[in-house]
């Protein structure tokens, strides 16, 4: 089964290419123009064990909002295509990840119903050149386009870099678990309804 996809998104604000392979080895080639966000997408790839290519040319002279939100849209669409009909997947995934004093929990469900619960209070308004309002916009866009349920809680943290990185690492680990094939469920959608 080929669980890879590619999405191109072009608007007046951004030009984006995303390639994703859910059965990769954690390789990443990321160029968004926002250094810290590149670092975060690398965390998803490495800890999710997915191969991820993201290239974005965006209107960064305005700010990073359009680029980060549109990357979330494209990655969500790519994830939906790569996961396919969800036959034989684990469906649910969760992970708690520490980074020094910070601890984040991510719980996800390939439910077919987009929903984001976001409980993250960053301790600084910026991390590098990234506005700390934008990770929520990224995950909101991803959830709506991948049609997943996602709960993200930063349980504690003092350093905003640590808070954010623990969130993205935990998301990668939760995604890895939820997307993994379940040998005992092969040939079936993991739902009593028979469809997700």
- What is the chain's mean pLDDT, rounded? 97
Instruction: Assign residue 30 the CATH number of its domain.
Output: 3.30.230.40
* 164-183: pLDDT as tens digits: 999 999 999 999 999 999 99
pLDDT at residue 186 greater than cutoff 80:
no
Whether residue 129 is contained in a domain is answered as yes
Instruction: Please give the pLDDT value at position 187.
Output: 83
pLDDT at residue 1 greater than cutoff 90:
no
Instruction: Please give the pLDDT value at position 59.
Output: 98
Q: How much is the average pLDDT of 21-31?
A: 98
Answer for the pair 93, 107: CB distance below 8 angstroms, yes or no.
yes
Backbone CA torsion sign across 183, 186, 192, 196: positive
Does pTM surpass 0.75?
Answer: yes
Q: Which two tokens stand for residue 166?
A: 């623990």
| Among 189, 7, 8, 188, CA closest to 81 | 7
How far apart CA 175 and CA 123 sit, in angstroms, is 26
Whether residue 154 is contained in a domain is answered as yes
Domain count of the fold of the chain: 1
Whether residue 91 is contained in a domain is answered as yes
What would the DSSP string read from start to end of 33-63? S-HHHHHHHHHHHHHHT-EEEEEEEE-TTT-
Q: List the domain range (segments joined by +) for residue 58.
A: 4-185
| Among 78, 71, 54, CA closest to 5 | 78
Report residue 83's pLDDT band, with 50, 70 and 90 as the boundaries: very high
How much of the chain exceeds pLDDT 70, in percent? 100
Whether residue 192 is contained in a domain is answered as no
Q: Where are the alpha helices (DSSP H) in 30-159?
A: 35-48, 65-83, 134-146
Bridge partners, 126 (sequence order): 131
Answer for the pair 138, 36: CB distance below 8 angstroms, yes or no.
no
How much of the chain exceeds pLDDT 90, in percent? 94
- Cβ partners under 8 Å of residue 23, min gap 6: 3, 4, 50
Whether residue 168 is contained in a domain is answered as yes
How far apart CA 83 and CA 66 sit, in angstroms, is 26
Instruction: Please give the pLDDT value at position 194.
Output: 86
Whether residue 44 is contained in a domain is answered as yes
Instruction: Please give the pLDDT value at position 178.
Output: 98
Whether residue 193 is contained in a domain is answered as no
Whether residue 161 is contained in a domain is answered as yes
* 92-135: pLDDT as tens digits: 999 999 999 999 999 999 999 999 999 999 999 999 999 999 99
């Amino acid at each position: 089964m080929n669980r890879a996809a590619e999405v191109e998104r072009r608007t007046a604000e951004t030009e984006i290419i995303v390639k994703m392979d859910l059965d990769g080895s954690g390789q990443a080639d990321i160029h968004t123009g926002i250094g810290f966000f590149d670092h975060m997408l690398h965390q998803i790839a490495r800890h999710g064990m997915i191969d991820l290519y993201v290239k974005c040319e965006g209107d960064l002279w305005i700010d990073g909002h359009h680029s980060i939100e549109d990357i979330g849209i494209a990655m969500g669409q790519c994830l939906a295509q790569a996961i396919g009909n969800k036959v034989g997947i684990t469906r649910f995934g969760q992970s708690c990840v520490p980074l020094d004093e910070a601890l984040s929990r991510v719980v996800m469900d390939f439910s077919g119903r987009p929903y984001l619960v976001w409980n993250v209070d960053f301790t600084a308004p910026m991390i590098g050149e990234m506005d700390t309002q934008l990770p929520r916009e990224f995950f909101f866009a991803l959830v709506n386009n991948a049609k997943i349920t996602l709960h993200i809680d930063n349980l504690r943290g003092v350093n905003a870099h640590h808070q954010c990185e623990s969130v993205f690492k935990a998301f990668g680990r939760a995604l890895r678990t939820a997307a993994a094939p379940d040998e005992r469920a092969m040939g079936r959608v993991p739902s009593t309804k028979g469809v997700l």
